[in-house]
Amino acid sequence: MNDCNGALHRWSVGWSPSPRATVRLYCLPYSGTGGVIYRSWVQALAPDIDVCPIELPGRWSRLREPPFRSVDAVVAALGPVLEVDRPFGLFGCSFGGVVAFELCRWLRRQGRPLPGQLLVAATRPPSLARNTAMHRLAENEFVQQVAEIYGPLPPAIIAAPDMRQLVLGVLRADLECVETYRHRREPPLDVPITVFGGRHDRSTSADKLEGWRSESTRAVAVHIFEDGEHLFLDSHRNELLHHIRARLLGPSAVEAGREAS
């Protein structure tokens, strides 16, 4: 294992490079979670797509590390670790979508290869300013606001004081990243973008997702799950993975996968 690959392993969870894959997909989690949310994707998209779930500091295998508190800090640390010498894509959900977008722009500034696809889910257009400061709220109000906008935290986490403090600390830090993020003017990306949204997402209306079209000179596709809310990675998993496979490999690969199954 070379040094770069070793560094990437420290930033991933449940990942083993697939020699048969034709493309790698780096997956960035939404606020308060870790790469573990993508572990089931590793097998679901194998062998053609090598799914690399990204693990950020402050959670799971990186509990001893403090979480980042700005998108720029995440990108500056993660960008140099990514292996981009083979075809790859970036996927991010909510907070992870903002990070994925800024990773693309960082790669461009560094003169490094860009992804074949940028895929974002439940992510507001970067140019759409945020006027919230949930990360500054007192604990009870913070929990209430999270539940109203993003969905309630699992009762088991709320009931366990140590787990509650751990999860809320990471969630607060991730929301600080999102709420303090400021979009800087740069030319549109020369990367196709696919945007996934839920019709009933309280944090981002489906209509506003159209704002992503100004961020690329290439095709920008917006797909709305009509009965989806903010977090539809599980509720619409199969349909979402179908679209991801088609975007990364093409429709013919999707049909071949159906026949093989």
pLDDT tens digits along 140-171: 999 999 888 888 888 888 888 888 888 899 99
Report d(CA 256, CA 261) in Å as an integer.
9
Length of the chain: 261
What residue ranges do the domains of the chain occupy?
3-128+184-260
- Ramachandran assignment for 191, one of left (phi > 0), alpha (psi -120 to 50 degrees), beta (any other): beta
Q: Which two tokens stand for residue 99?
A: 């990070």
DSSP 45-86: STTTEEEEEB--TTSGGGTTSPPPSSHHHHHHHHGGG---SS
258 has pLDDT over 70: no
pLDDT tens digits along 176-230: 999 999 999 999 999 999 999 999 888 888 899 999 999 999 999 999 998 888 7
**CA-to-CA dists, residue 146 to 29, 137, 151, angstroms:** 16, 11, 6
3-128+184-260: CATH number:
3.40.50.1820
